[in-house]
Structure formats: C-alpha cells, structure tokens
Amino acid sequence: MVGIKKHNLTKFLIVAGVLSFFYLPILSLMVFSFNDSRSLTSWSGFSLQWYKALFENREMMTAITTTITIALISTFVATVMGTLAAIGISKSRRIIKELVLSVNSFPILNPEIVTAIGLMLLYSSLNIEKGFLTMLLAHIIFSTPYVILSVLPRLRRLDPDIAEAALDLGATPLQALWKVIVPMITPGIVSGALIAFTMSFDDFVISYFVSGNGVKNISILVYTMSKRINPTINALSTILVVIITIVLLVVNLYPFITKKELKEAE
Amino acid sequence: MRKLIEFQNIVKSFNGSLVLKGINLSIHENEFITLLGPSGCGKTTLLRILGGFISQNEGHVYFDDIEISNVPPYKREINTVFQRYALFPHMNVFDNIAFGLRIKKQDKNTIEQKVRKMLKLVNLEGYEDRPVTLLSGGQQQRVAIARALVNEPMVLLLDEPLGALDLKLRKEMQIELKKIQQEVGITFIYVTHDQEEALTMSDTIVVMNAGEIQQIGTPTDIYNEPENRFVADFIGESNIIDGLMIEDYKVKFDDQTFECIDYGFEDNLEVDIVLRPEDIDIVPIDMGRIKGVIKSTIFKGVHFEVVVETPYREWIIHTTDKVEVDKEVGLHFFPEDIHIMYKMGSY
Amino acid sequence: MKGYASLVKPYIFWMSLFIVVPMLLIVLYAFTEHGNALMAFRFTLDNFLKFFDPVFIKVLFKSLEVAIITTLFCILIGYPIAYIISNTSERIQTLLILLITLPMWINMLVRTYAWISILSDGGILNSIFEFLGLPPIKMMYTDFAVMLGMVYNFLPFMIISIYTVLAKLDKALIHASHDLGANPVQTFLRIVLPLSMPGVISGITLVFLPAVSTFVIPKFLGGGQYMLIGNLIENQFITVGEWNFGSAISLIMAMIIMGSMILTRKIDRDASDTKNVEGGKAW
C-alpha cells in the first residue's frame, strides 16, 4: 500500500524472539543428549553414551513398544468406530444428533484429569485390574470423539443423493458405504486418524491414572525418571523431535514435490 | 469541464507480466467515465492505483494538478465502492455509513443529518439499525454507495459494483446510479466488462485491452465509429470484414466495390470494415448486391438473429422479419452503414 | 436413510458406559462417604465442606491466579505475533505457522522437562548470568517458573486461534477502512480488533482450561510443595487415597471451568449483540 513505512526490522525481531523462546529449550535438550557427562548444564564433550544407554535400557524399550502398540491399535479401533459413528450421526434425527454430539464432546471439553479419574473410578467399580488393556481402552475412549469431529464435516458436505445413487445402481448398503461414502470422506478419516495417533502417543494424564501393573508408556516413564537427572531422557526426546520434524517436513513438502513432478511430466 | 485527474504514462507489472503498458488518460469534473474491457485488461488495476491501494511502476497520477502517487489512500479525496461491497460485518447500516464521518470527527448531529440524507438518496430509509449481514445484495450495494458518497468526495470509484446482482436489479441500479451521479454532481469512475452497462450509463467510455487504451469516446462514438477491430468486436455485434480502401469514399471487399462515406485513408490501403447486424436488410435475391443462403434463424425476442452464408463468409443479421432456412436471399445496406477502420497495429 | 442412522446405536451404548457412567461415578463419589461407594451408599456433603479449609481455598485461588495470568500473557504475546504473521506473504505464513506448531507435536512432558536444565540454579540461564558477571537468580520452583512453563506450552494455541481468524479477515475491509479515511491505527482499533475477538475468545478457552487443571507443569517446575488444583486432585487419588474428597474437588474445579466458559461466551454474545457479528446466520 502507498505511503506506509514498514517496520520490518521490529517485526522480524519480535517473531525471531518468540521462535527462539519456543526452540531454545528443545535445542538445549538435544545438545545435552550428546553430553559426555551426566550434567544437563555443563558441557564435557561429545558422546553417544546416552543413546547407547537408551537402547540398552529394558524399561525404556518396553515403554516405547507399549506406546507405539497402544497408539496403533487405539488409532485403528477409534478410526473405524468413529467413522461408523459419524456416518450414523450424520443420518440421524436432529435430537439424536445433538444429544450424541454433546456427550461426545465431554472427553474433549473436560480437563484430562477429570476424564482420567472418571475412568479410574469406572475400572475400580467394575473390579477391573489396571494394566495394558485398561490403558488401551482408555485411549480408544478419548480418541474416538476426535475422529468423529474430524469426519463429520466431510460428511456434511457430502451430496445426500450419492448413497442413493449407488443403491439405485444396484449396490447393497454395505457396498455403497465402502465404495462410495468412505472414499469421499477419506481426508477426514486420515486427519482423524492422525489426531488419534498423536493424542495417544503423547498422552500422559489419562494413561497415568488408568494404567497399573508396571505398564508404562513413554510419557509415564519420562515422568517417573525425571525425578533424577537422566540424559537418557534427552536422547529419547531428541529422537522424537527428529522423527516429528522429518514427518512434518515430508507432509508439508509432499504437495510441492508432486506438483513439480507433474510439471516435469508435462 | 475542468480536468480533475490525469494519468501520465502509467506502467504497472505484476510478477513479471505487464498489466498496464503506458496509460495516458484525463478525467474531468462531473464526468461519468467508464473503463470498459475484458478481464485482465488492466481496468481494475488502474482504478486501484488511483485509489492508492497499489503503486504504479512508472508514470504519474495528478489529482487537481497535484501528484498524489505518494499519498496514502486515507488521505485522498477519493472514495471507492468495492466489488463485493466490503461492508463492515460487525456494524449496522447507520454505523457503516457514518464510519468515514466519525473518523473525520464530525459532530453527532451533523453525522445524523448526513447519514439520513444518504439513506433517503439510496432508498434505504428505515434501515438504520439493520445488521448489514442481513441485507440483500441490492441493499448491501446501496449501503456501500451511501457509505462512500456521504463523505462528499470529489471522485467516486466504482469497481464492477453491479456484478453480483441479477439482471433486472442490475438494470434498475444502472439507472439509479446515473441519477445519483447527476444529482450529486461529482465524477464517477466506473469499471465494468459489460458493454451494455457502459453504453447505458457513461458520458465517456474508455475501451481497454491488454493494458492499453483502445479508444476513448462517447457511447455513440464508440458504437457507431469503432476505431479498430477490437472495439468493434467488443461493443455490440459486428460483421468484421477484410477489405481494401481503393480511394476516398470507395471500398472493395468480397470482389465488389461499394460506396461508403469514410475518407482520409491512403489509397489502396488494407482496412477492417464493420457492418452492424441491425444495419443489414434481407431482401429478395435480385435486389441485393451480396447474395447468399439463410443458414439459421434464432428468435431472440426483440429480433431474429439470422446467419446468411455467402461464398466469402457468414453474415450475422438482426431483423424483425421472419425468414426461412435454406432460402436464397440478397443483403442490402446503405453506404453510411459501412464503417472503415485502420487495421490494428498499423497506426 | 436406509438404516445408516442405526450405525450410531453401538456408539451410543459405548458412550453411555465409557463417558457418561464415569462422570456419574465422580458425582457419586463426591457425594458419598469414604470407601467403595457402590457398597456403602451414604449421601453426604462432608467432602465439599472439607474443601472450605483455608489451605484448600488457597490452592484454588492460586490455581485461578496462575491460570489467569498465563492466559493474559498468552494474549499479550500471542496477539501481536498472530497479527504480524497474518500480514506476511502466504509462503512465509505457512512456514511460520509450521515452526510454531512443530513444538506442539513434541511430548508435553519432554518440553516441560527441558526447562528444568535451563532454569535451575546451576542451569543454562544462571550460567550465562554468571558469565556476564550478574548475580544468579533463583527461578526454579517459583511461580515464575510455573507460569513460564504454562505460557510455553499453551502460547501456540493462542497464536493459532487468533491467526486463523485474522487470516480469514477480508482484506477488502481494510482497504475500505483506509478508503474512508481511517489510518492504519484507527483501522486496527475499529475494524481488525473487533472482528478478531472470536479468535481471542477461543484462544482463551484453549489456554485457560488446561492451565487451571494441569498438574505436570506445577510438579516439574514448582516442586513437590507447589500445589495447584490439579496437583491436589492427583495427590488425593494417587497418594492419599481419598477418592471421595478427590472427586469433590474435581467437581468443584469442573464447576469453576464451566462457569468461566459461560462467562466468556456471555461476554462474546453481549459484544456481538451490539455489533452484530454473526447477525446473518440463521440461528
């Protein structure tokens, strides 16, 4: 626009400042994972000992396996259940729709600790022993609402006649569902699954309250281990950060790469 | 009429492509001037440069003899009616219209008076407290006009303001806008791609294409005497023919020589010829110098659109006569109906 | 339509058992006496009365204080950032938003843990102070550390909330405002700010709620003695074993949160009644 001086330097400094604030702790975490000594504050030299310790630590490896297993299974179950529920909701009467969506939003709106103790009380009342399955179940319970909220908007935008058209052409309701509806809402399903996976992978509060019997996921392990200084945590964290960064980069650059290939093919 | 605005050699490019190629244009007080052209011709860009929302790469803009290129939009005595109205959704009709006056810190009573006067002018009395998001397209448009005019600018810029309205409403608003302009007595600079709209409302039309001005003139000038093929083609329907200007008053095309009323062209110059469909009559085959066969006839309400095929070309004719397909007919027109133009790029 | 609606039935059953029942249990435990509530069902208000001890009330007010200050800082820092980002080119916007959301994907415990080594007495910041010849500052286990940790964790939510609304703002409205004579400051105050309020409100919701109920951040950065409501609840359930009291506290916290949400929504609605933000929607 005409006549406006741009205070570009100030803006740049403010944004750079905030970004440094976000990344400095992460960077320090990563740097000290390579520290030769046990300190998190003074540097003694480069070493991979903590990574070695990480892989040799039985407890940690188990926790990682547990976390990934639970994340994968709960994501799968939550995605399937959530997608089917969302389809059901979108075709239901208004009253049912509103009621279901209200209750569905409780795990999302409630503070995690409330959901957590609710489940803890449930398990106790039913005399279920806390362990792997209780954690898995809990993850499914709190992930499914997010899948539903992710799929529902796509369903809303779907042409209501599409399923009818499929049935008109001879498909059974199941075929119509699988071959017509699901493909059209796939982006919603995928993003719902991603949210479910992340929420499960990162979960702490709910897992903490509903697990027992020594079953731990990564977050619980970090929580119990952080009572003492332990750079193995740093090593684990660094690996997590690197993986997440790579994934995010790929996801965001993927459209550009495919666009480029399309252009070259022309 | 005094010259109010002058564009001198305005050049503008976006992302490497040249959008305005050196525009020179003068706009006068009290003029209803329309920038007319297809999408991408640069008309909106020129308007936005005048409004102060973008800067030109080269050239000068003078307002009242003062160069305003470095003056920000909130200091220019120009107001704009935006294409999609840009009404403030969190304010009602009154507050939207009063916005500019409140910025100028005018007193409450004056503001009240002026806003009510505007509401009357645009026929929205009683709508003061309505939220603008609840208004229809036509009503929103009138609020946008009122909001701009209430500030008593010397110039009003209108960027395709009627585009979102249905046909009937558009035609009504065209008349209303013209009426308002004449009542208020300020310069309206109007941008549109609709040639009918331009012909209806304007005192002056500036036909633009690909960043250049093709012709400036009154509606009748532009319609009756298009200067080149582009203008002839863009305005109204035409039959455009390649021909040869043999000498003054004589032109040759389709292997025949015709009398015409144009002169001043070089002898034996290749020219473009325009014949308007409504100027051509379908006559019995012996009575027309051009002979052909009726290929199709479509009823358009006001007239029939008839296509006649000759060995040289297809002619489009507008006639109220009903004719039969496949009939052999003649075409008749008067010398004054033949309009000669220089070929594009040759002047 | 053709029975697809019945797909919702299994989920209704699921929700009843796994979402509704747990919440009812919390209410049940809150209003009953110590012990397994299903066996000894004796209604009492003792659990709530126990809360009105100055010790616990102090915890409540502290939690509210910390949460409100955190939210305020998130707005004060988050709004300018969101505003600056929304005014850059599209490519830079995408990059900056990516950079801001990336930490959100990293485990909250890990992110909070990282601050320990920075804020400790022998930590990174204090080492820098020492290097510069400045006296060391005690930062760990203070209100400051806890609020820093909270702002650190929740600021991205505020930024994204506000940014989303600002980015969707029709630029033509800003042009129109300039066209009508308002300079950039006036345009911001009269047009941009009011229209960005929905983003601020949703940002407040996303920050205040977890800030009030979190217990990890106070535990890591506030130390064993630092108690906010979340810590209190955790303590009652895990360490002390007083499930009934713990449930009562949870209910009280839930009430407070619900109250503040209703309050913020009312403020938003009052503002929009006079200014017709969503006037066009058919509600």
| Residue type, position B150, single letter | V
Residues 6+ apart with CB under 8 A from A181: A87, A155, A158, A162, A163
Enter the CATH code of domain A60-233: 1.10.3720.10
Q: What is the pLDDT along chain C (283 residues), one digit of tens a residue?
A: 457 788 888 999 999 999 999 999 998 888 887 655 455 567 777 778 887 888 888 889 999 999 999 999 999 999 999 999 999 888 889 889 989 988 888 888 888 888 988 888 878 888 888 888 888 888 888 889 999 999 999 999 999 999 999 999 999 999 999 999 999 999 999 999 999 999 999 999 899 999 999 988 998 898 877 789 999 999 888 888 888 888 989 998 888 888 888 888 787 776 655 444 333 333 2
Average pLDDT on A129-141 reads 92
Pair B119, B96: CB distance under 8 Å: no
The residue whose two tokens read 């309020």 is C197
Residues of chain C with C-beta less than 8 angstroms from the C-beta of B87: 176
Q: Which DSSP string corresponds to B106-167?
A: --HHHHHHHHHHHHHHTT-TT-TTSBGGGS-HHHHHHHHHHHHHTT--SEEEEESTTTTS-H
Intra-chain end-to-end CA distance of chain B, in Å = 30
Beta bridge partners of B290: B331
CA–CA gap between residue C174 and residue C192 (Å, rounded) = 8
3-state secondary structure of B11: strand
Pair B238, B274: CB distance under 8 Å: yes
B339 phi, psi to nearest 5 deg: -120, 125
Q: What tens digit of pLDDT does each residue of B308-346 get?
A: 999 999 999 999 988 899 999 999 999 999 999 988 876
Residues of chain B with C-beta less than 8 angstroms from the C-beta of C177: 88, 99
Q: How many CB pairs under 8 A join A and C?
A: 214
Q: What tens digit of pLDDT does each residue of B43-74 get?
A: 999 999 999 999 999 999 999 999 999 999 98
Q: Does B57 touch chain A (CB under 8 A)?
A: no
Residues of chain B with C-beta less than 8 angstroms from the C-beta of C194: 90
Average pLDDT on B228-238 reads 88
Q: Could you tell me the maximum CA-CA distance found in chain C, to the nearest angstrom?
A: 77
Pair A56, C150: CB distance under 8 Å: no
Chains that touch C (3 or more CB pairs under 8 A): A, B
Chains that touch A (3 or more CB pairs under 8 A): B, C
Q: What tens digit of pLDDT does each residue of A207-262 get?
A: 999 987 788 888 998 888 877 778 888 888 898 889 888 988 888 777 766 666 66
Q: Which DSSP string corresponds to A135-189?
A: HHHHHHHHHHHHHHHHHHHHHHHS-THHHHHHHHTT--HHHHIIIIIHHHHHHHH
3-state SS of B320-345? CCCCCCCCEEEEECCHHHCEEEECCC
Pair C79, C162: CB distance under 8 Å: yes
What is the pLDDT at residue C281?
34
Residues 6+ apart with CB under 8 A from A96: A89, C5, C8
User: From the centroid of its chain, how far is CA C255?
Assistant: 15
Q: Cβ of C211: how many Cβ atoms within 10 Å?
A: 27
Q: What tens digit of pLDDT does each residue of B270-322 get?
A: 999 999 999 999 999 999 899 999 999 999 999 999 999 999 999 999 999 88
Q: Which DSSP string corresponds to B199-215?
A: HHH-SEEEEEETTEEEE
For residue B197, give the nearest of B8, B3, B20, B43 by alpha carbon.
B43
Q: How far is A4 from chain B (nearest CA, A)?
A: 7
Angstrom CA distances, C123 to A19, C130, C153, C216, stand at: 21, 10, 20, 20
What is the pLDDT at residue C282?
30
Q: Do A1 and B70 touch (CB under 8 A)?
A: no
3-state secondary structure of B81: strand
Task: Pick one of 3.40.50.720, 3.40.50.300, 3.90.226.10, 3.20.20.110 as the CATH number of B3-224.
Answer: 3.40.50.300
Whether pLDDT at B9 is above 70: yes
- What's the complex ipTM? 0.83
Q: Which DSSP string corresponds to B169-187?
A: HHHHHHHHHHHHHHHHT-E
What is the pLDDT at residue A4?
47
Q: How far is A1 from chain B (nearest CA, A)?
A: 5
Average pLDDT on A38-46 reads 78
3-state SS of A203-225? CCHHHHHHCCCCCCCHHHHHHHH
Q: Do C246 and A117 touch (CB under 8 A)?
A: yes
For residue C105, give the nearest of A22, B305, B88, B284 by alpha carbon.
A22
Domain locations in chain B?
3-224, 237-342
CB burial of residue C177 (10 Å; 0-12, 13-18, 19+): buried
Selected residue of C168, C177, C179 to mutate for chain B interface (largest B Cβ count, 10 A): C179
What is the pLDDT at residue A6?
57
Q: Do B53 and A3 touch (CB under 8 A)?
A: no
Domain B237-342 in CATH 3.90.1150.10: no
Q: How far is C272 from chain A (nearest CA, A)?
A: 24
What is the pLDDT at residue C129?
84
Pair B92, C276: CB distance under 8 Å: yes
User: From the centroid of its chain, how far is CA C195?
Assistant: 22
Selected residue of B48, B55, B74, B143 to mutate for chain C interface (largest C Cβ count, 10 A): B74
Beta bridge partners of B66: B63
Tell me which fold the domain C53-275 belongs to.
Answer: MetI-like fold (1.10.3720)
Q: Do C250 and A117 touch (CB under 8 A)?
A: yes
Q: Do A111 and C3 touch (CB under 8 A)?
A: no
What is the pLDDT at residue C275?
46
What is the pLDDT at residue C278?
37
What is the pLDDT at residue C7?
85
CA–CA gap between residue B39 and residue B56 (Å, rounded) = 19
Mean pLDDT of chain B: 92
Chain A residue closest to C148 (CA)? Answer: A21
pLDDT bracket for residue A7 (50, 70, 90): confident
Q: What tens digit of pLDDT does each residue of B186-232 get?
A: 999 999 999 999 999 999 999 999 999 999 999 999 998 898 889 99
B11 phi, psi to nearest 5 deg: -120, 135
Angstrom CA distances, B195 to B35, B315, C261, C273, stand at: 10, 22, 56, 43
Task: Tell me the pairing of strands B155-159 and B187-192.
Answer: parallel
